[in-house]
Amino acid sequence: MALHFELVTPAKLVRSEDVHMVVVPGAEGEFGVLEGHAPFMSTIRDGALKVYRSESGAPEEIMIQGGFAEVGANGLTVLAEHVEG
């Protein structure tokens, strides 16, 4: 029921936690990742990453710049060059 989500920048591992859903600003449109998503890889445009910790709660927004997202068997990994907040 939980999606493992990692946010990594060159300087450090910013997040590594289990969340409900993450909405990623992909280069060709936003996409939401839930648990059990098919393997997927996309570049990211600069924007807000929305992290939903639970189904009902309000999302936490993290501004990211330059990077790409990868969905694999072990969850979602976002590699970003710069992260704010």
The site map against other proteins for 27-66 (x = CB under 8 A) is xx---------xxxxxx----------------------x
Q: Find the shortest distance in angstroms from Cβ 25 to other proteins.
A: 12
How far the first Cα of the chain sits from its last, in Å, is 26
Question: Which residue's CB is nearer to other proteins, number 56 or number 74?
Answer: 74
How far apart are the C-alpha atoms of 5 and 34, rounded to whole Å? 10
CA distances from 12 to 52, 59, 65, 72 (A): 22, 23, 15, 21
Residues making contact with other proteins (CB under 8 A): 8-13, 26-28, 38-43, 66-68, 70, 72-73, 77, 79, 81
